[in-house]
């Protein structure tokens, strides 16, 4: 009932084409203890537009959206929906006001079907059948209207991430949302999935829906938004028309200084082979062969970029080389054979052999989120005799060392006593990178170095990788971001379905050729 | 960053929880027609009002200290050791064998050997569930519970058979030789000029328990093994990444846990009974779970929680002796303490956090 009333009121005031903003925030402030997350933020979003909000991790984007969705209560300020002052004390009120939210981490019940997830919390009565039937019809029409096709009877855990995201959008639309907020929606998507999402968003805009897109990816902002607001350290620094700005200008507004969007590097001077991989094979627990005879080598002083769509065996390759997974085949590092399935197929032996590993999933693998930064600064190297005194660890020395290390790698805040989970993604990655680089490994395995990392930190991380290369170390880079592979690599190999499809020098590589190989089509030049 | 000061987290929350448990307990006592104020007075007087009462309180507390530490150590590796009871029983067997079958010139040597024996037997009893968990994925909660029953049956078998002296009527071993009898707190404190009840069972094992608390603290927060145990407990994939073997950590942690539970036997078997009797553990293995929960798996917390439960045990015994309040009510009170300090933690924590946030905002 309530929803219908709100609906009527909204349409009267915020119909597409009206001159009242769909959402207006005036002077929103929010503090968490001493931290001012949002400072006097005002913003107007016109109906039927896609409005980007860009800013580094920790700039206050998510806090602002949480206030809009009723998760937090602002300390000061007002919210106007369709020109009417609206209080949003909880998410129920936000939904009633026509706001839908698609979170970065989906809020779906894994073992429910799509349909069941869509009606969850919006059931019409005690019996499910009528609600399900109604939702099925609604989903069908939404799918046709917006290219939002998902099998309504598929179970969530069986469908891909891109489809799960569509379910989240459907949930919002089913609840009559006119304003859709998407928080870092492309973080988990492959390029084709992201393209599909953007088509959906354009369709929604054409129907007069208002979309707020939160991201830290400049390319997306330039590609899809009409207007963009930039946040830095809790403040709104600028709102500009996308057509009238450039990525360079936005990056500068975000970070507060000029940012190099391209990686500056000299041509590589490759030396002797450091990593030699021959016919590497891995079969997972369900009997599927994940690596089907991978052979490659990385020489000292070069970056080998391994391109490929996620799930084609690159994670397994990193885990085998990092000692987290058993395999068959031959791997040599500096000419010495590496144990792939015996008692020395573990992370400690790998580190002793001069292999450092920045894992793809830093939050689950590279760091202990509940450990303080100083404890994480020796994680994996904690058996180093230099930090032991008898049976005890020299905690004070580790703490001291972590402090200087954090300063050198510009980790913010430079407080080694803070738990890893309290750092932003970029700063977490710097903690991992500092740990793995500083012992001067002969070979660095690095997976998704800048996933979920803000733009200022990306620049820094890329510089560190190139500096390590220039110091004559071998680097195996795995990334699903083709731009990153192209920017950093000296040679590029493409992996598809557990096999290396081909290799080429980075300066002669064309995106088209690489794209074909990533799709499993071998090019004529492929080795 | 922190939502409230550390002292509030460590002191205020447990205190409020205890207060709530006490209030509900008072209501229950009222409901069965007794006077709660009188009951509290009796409990305090019985458990803390004399060195005799203290002697019992500390005796029980020592048991709970060992089993609580056992559970706490396993918790740090995210392993739920419910087998403290069985491991403590086997520890008793270790103590009995050491004391009965080896000649000892002095109690101090016997204590060291008995502690080792108890630890070894307890560790061995924890080893099997641990290796089953690590290699076969058999859930440790299930296997350790089952091992409690096996331990009970095994001791039953030994105490009516091989270990029972010929001609004896009750299922227990022979009395341990005089040289293995541990000094009681009375014996320890007398040279210092402090009078302590001669009849109370508290003995030198209490000091061993305190020492164990300190050693466990060192183990968890100062050693490499502790670092690896906690890392494994927080994230198994991360442990694997760092080259920490899940099998090794699971087995080693459980064996340390089992050894601690087993060492309880130097208190109840060697220090008090001076022979091994049937069901010597009296459920202390299970109380250890509550003690570890309430102590937040921190050795100092375990120490305090053990004293509290020792007080509840002794006070409860006094209560049933002098009033019509049945002994079962003590179990109700203990359950309420566990409920409020363990299960309903957030009920106290969240409002308190909000209060501190509000204070801070007003101050800012």
**Going by C-beta distance under 8 Å and a sequence separation of 6 or more, which residues neighbour residue B362?**
none
* pLDDT for residue B357: 79
* pLDDT for residue B362: 73
Of the residues A321, A387, A393, A447, the best mutation for testing chain B's interface (the one with the most B CB atoms within 10 Å of its CB) is A393
Find the mean pLDDT for residues B205-209.
Answer: 97
> Is the ipTM here above 0.90?
no
Contact yes or no for A384/B242 (Cβ under 8 A): no
Find the mean pLDDT for residues B88-101.
Answer: 96
Burial class of residue A263 in the structure, from the number of CB atoms within 10 Å of its CB (0-12 exposed, 13-18 middle, 19+ buried): middle
pLDDT of residue B76 exceeding 80, the answer is: yes
Q: How far is A317 from chain B (nearest CA, A)?
A: 14
SS3 content of chain B, % helix, strand, coil (to 5): 75, 0, 25
Residue A469 Cα distances to A345, A350, A466, A487, angstroms: 26, 20, 5, 14
Contact yes or no for A232/A455 (Cβ under 8 A): no
* pLDDT for residue A412: 85
Widest distance between CA atoms in chain A: 76
Average pLDDT of every residue of chain B: 92
Q: For residue B230, which residues of chain A lie inside 8 Å, CB to CB?
A: 368, 371
Write the class of the CATH domain A50-68+94-255.
alpha beta
* pLDDT for residue A79: 93
Count how many Cα atoms sit within 13 Å of the Cα of residue A17 in the half-sphere of its side chain: 2
Find the mean pLDDT for residues B259-276.
Answer: 96
- The answer, for A352 touching chain B at a CB cutoff of 8 Å, is no
Q: Measured between CB atoms, which of B1, B228, B244 is closest to A422?
A: B1
Judged by DSSP in three states, B185 sits in helix
Please state the domain extents for chain A. Answer: 50-68+94-255, 273-518
Question: Of all helices (H) and strands (E), which one includes residue A76?
Answer: strand A76-81
pLDDT per residue as tens digits for the range B124-136: 999 999 999 999 9
Of the residues A371, A373, A416, A422, the best mutation for testing chain B's interface (the one with the most B CB atoms within 10 Å of its CB) is A371
pLDDT of residue B6 exceeding 90, the answer is: no
pLDDT of residue B169 exceeding 90, the answer is: no
Q: How confident is the model at residue B291 (pLDDT cuts 50, 70, 90)?
A: very high
Find the mean pLDDT for residues B152-170.
Answer: 92
Nearest alpha-carbon partner for B275 in B341, B176, B353, B203: B176
DSSP for B319-343, written as a single string: HHHHSS--THHHHHHHHHHHIIIII
Beta strands in A284-424 (DSSP E): 289-299, 303-307, 328-333, 336-337, 355-358, 388-389, 392-393
Which pair of structure tokens corresponds to residue A210? 């208002």
Q: Do B238 and A364 touch (CB under 8 A)?
A: yes
CATH superfamily for A273-518 is P-loop containing nucleotide triphosphate hydrolases (3.40.50.300)
Beta bridge partners of A392: A389, B223
Q: How confident is the model at residue B353 (pLDDT cuts 50, 70, 90)?
A: confident
- The answer, for B327 touching chain A at a CB cutoff of 8 Å, is no
pLDDT of residue B9 exceeding 70, the answer is: yes
Q: Measured between CB atoms, which of A370, A380, A418 is closest to B241?
A: A380
Q: For residue B228, which residues of chain A lie inside 8 Å, CB to CB?
A: 382
* pLDDT for residue B15: 87
Judged by DSSP in three states, A93 sits in helix
Contact yes or no for B92/B285 (Cβ under 8 A): no
Q: Measured between CB atoms, which of B218, B238, B243 is closest to A368?
A: B238
Q: How far is B233 from chain A (nearest CA, A)?
A: 10
Q: What is d(CA A166, CA B251) in angstroms, rounded to the nearest whole number?
A: 45
pLDDT per residue as tens digits for the range B225-253: 999 999 999 999 999 999 999 999 999 99
* pLDDT for residue B363: 66
Q: Do B360 and A392 touch (CB under 8 A)?
A: no
Q: Do A391 and B224 touch (CB under 8 A)?
A: yes
* pLDDT for residue B364: 55
* pLDDT for residue B3: 65
Q: What is d(CA B53, CA B75) in angstroms, rounded to the nearest whole number?
A: 32
* pLDDT for residue A15: 45
One pLDDT digit (tens) per residue for chain A, 527 residues:
444 444 444 444 444 445 789 999 999 999 877 778 899 999 999 999 999 998 876 788 888 988 999 988 899 999 999 889 999 999 889 999 999 999 877 889 989 999 999 988 888 888 888 888 989 999 998 888 888 888 999 999 888 778 888 999 999 999 989 999 998 888 667 667 788 899 999 999 999 999 999 987 788 899 999 999 999 888 898 999 999 998 888 888 887 777 766 788 888 899 999 999 999 999 987 788 999 999 999 999 999 999 987 778 999 999 999 999 999 999 999 999 999 998 899 999 999 999 999 999 999 999 999 999 999 999 999 999 999 998 899 999 999 999 999 999 999 889 999 999 888 888 999 999 999 999 899 999 999 998 878 777 888 999 999 999 999 999 999 998 788 898 999 999 999 889 999 999 998 888 778 878 887 777 554 44
Judged by DSSP in three states, A260 sits in coil
Which pair of structure tokens corresponds to residue A65? 């959206």
Find the mean pLDDT for residues B255-265.
Answer: 98
* pLDDT for residue B135: 94
């Amino acid at each position: 009932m309530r929803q219908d009333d709100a609906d009527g009121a909204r349409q009267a005031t915020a119909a597409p084409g009206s001159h009242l903003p769909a959402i207006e925030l005036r002077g929103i402030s929010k503090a968490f203890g001493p931290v001012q997350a949002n400072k006097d933020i005002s913003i107007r979003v016109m109906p039927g537009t896609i409005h980007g909000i860009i800013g580094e991790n920790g700039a206050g984007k998510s806090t602002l959206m949480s206030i809009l969705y009723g998760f937090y209560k602002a300390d000061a300020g007002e919210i106007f929906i369709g020109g009417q002052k609206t209080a949003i004390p909880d998410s129920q009120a936000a939904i009633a006001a026509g706001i839908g939210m698609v979170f970065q981490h989906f809020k779906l019940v894994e073992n429910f079907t799509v349909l069941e997830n869509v009606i969850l919390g919006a059931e019409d009565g005690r019996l499910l059948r009528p609600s399900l039937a109604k939702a099925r019809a609604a989903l069908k029409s939404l799918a046709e209207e917006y290219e939002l096709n998902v099998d309504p009877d598929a179970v969530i855990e069986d469908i891909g991430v891109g489809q799960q995201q569509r379910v989240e959008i459907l949930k919002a639309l089913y609840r009559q949302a006119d304003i859709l907020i998407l928080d870092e929606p492309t973080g988990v998507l492959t390029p084709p999935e992201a393209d599909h999402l953007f088509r959906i968003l354009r369709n929604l805009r054409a129907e007069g829906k208002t979309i707020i897109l939160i991201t830290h990816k400049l390319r997306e902002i330039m590609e899809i938004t009409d207007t963009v607001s930039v946040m830095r350290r809790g403040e709104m620094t600028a709102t500009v028309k996308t057509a009238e700005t450039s990525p360079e200008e936005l990056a500068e507004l975000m970070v507060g200084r000029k940012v190099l969007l391209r990686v500056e590097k000299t041509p590589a001077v490759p030396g002797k082979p450091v990593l030699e991989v021959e016919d590497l094979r891995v079969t997972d627990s369900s009997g599927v062969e994940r690596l089907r005879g991978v052979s490659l080598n990385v020489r000292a002083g070069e970056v080998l970029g391994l391109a490929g769509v996620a799930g084609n065996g690159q994670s397994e390759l990193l885990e085998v080389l990092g000692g987290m997974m058993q395999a068959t085949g031959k791997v040599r590092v500096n000419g010495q054979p590496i144990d792939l399935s015996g008692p020395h197929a573990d992370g400690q032996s790998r580190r002793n052999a001069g292999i450092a590993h920045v894992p793809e999933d830093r939050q689950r693998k590279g760091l202990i989120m509940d450990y303080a930064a100083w404890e994480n600064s020796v994680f994996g190297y904690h058996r180093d005799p230099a930090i032991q005194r008898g049976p005890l660890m020299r905690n004070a020395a580790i703490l001291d060392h972590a402090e200087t290390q954090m300063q050198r790698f510009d980790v913010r805040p430079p407080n080694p006593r803070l738990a890893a989970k309290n750092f932003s993604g970029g700063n977490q990655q710097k903690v991992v990178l500092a740990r793995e680089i500083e012992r001067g490994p002969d070979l660095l395995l690095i997976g998704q170095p800048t996933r979920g990392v803000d733009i200022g930190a990306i620049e820094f991380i890329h510089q560190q990788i190139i500096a390590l290369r220039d110091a004559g170390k071998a680097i195996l880079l795995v990334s699903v971001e083709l731009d990153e592979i192209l920017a950093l690599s000296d040679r590029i190999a493409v992996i598809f379905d557990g096999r290396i499809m081909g290799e080429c020098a980075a300066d002669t590589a064309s995106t088209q050729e690489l794209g074909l190989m990533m799709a499993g089509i071998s090019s004529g030049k492929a080795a | 960053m922190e939502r409230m000061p550390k002292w509030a987290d460590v002191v205020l929350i447990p205190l409020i929880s205890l207060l709530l448990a006490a209030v509900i307990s008072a209501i229950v006592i009222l409901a069965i027609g007794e006077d709660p104020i009188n009951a509290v007075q009796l409990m305090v007087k019985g458990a803390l009002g004399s060195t005799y009462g203290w002697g019992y309180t500390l005796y029980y507390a020592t048991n709970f200290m060992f089993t609580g530490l056992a559970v706490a150590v396993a918790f740090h590796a995210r392993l739920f050791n419910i087998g403290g009871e069985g491991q403590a029983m086997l520890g008793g067997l270790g103590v009995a064998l050491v004391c009965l079958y080896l000649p000892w010139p002095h109690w101090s040597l016997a204590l060291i050997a008995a502690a080792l024996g108890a630890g070894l037997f307890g560790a061995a009893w924890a080893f099997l569930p641990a290796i089953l968990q690590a290699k076969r994925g058999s859930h440790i909660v299930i296997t350790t519970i089952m091992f409690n029953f096996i331990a009970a049956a095994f001791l039953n078998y030994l105490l009516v058979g091989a270990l029972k002296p010929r001609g004896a009527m009750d299922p227990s071993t022979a009395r341990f030789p005089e040289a293995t009898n541990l000094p009681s707190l009375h014996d320890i404190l007398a040279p210092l000029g402090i009078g302590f009840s001669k009849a109370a069972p508290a003995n030198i094992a209490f000091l061993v328990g305190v020492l164990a608390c300190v050693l466990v603290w060192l183990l968890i927060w100062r050693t490499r093994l502790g670092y690896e145990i906690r890392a494994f407990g927080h994230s198994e994939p991360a442990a694997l990444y760092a080259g920490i073997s899940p099998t090794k950590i699971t087995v080693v942690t459980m064996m340390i846990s089992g050894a601690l539970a087993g060492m309880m036997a130097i208190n109840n078997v060697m220090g008090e009974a001076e022979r091994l009797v049937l069901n010597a553990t009296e459920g202390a293995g299970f109380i250890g779970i509550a003690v570890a929960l309430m102590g937040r798996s921190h050795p100092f917390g375990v120490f305090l929680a053990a004293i509290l439960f020792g007080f509840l045990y002794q006070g409860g015994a006094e209560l049933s002796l002098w009033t019509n309040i049945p002994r079962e009510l003590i179990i109700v009170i203990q359950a309420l303490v566990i409920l409020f300090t363990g299960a309903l933690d957030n009920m106290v924590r969240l409002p308190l956090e909000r209060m501190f946030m509000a204070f801070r905002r007003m101050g800012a």
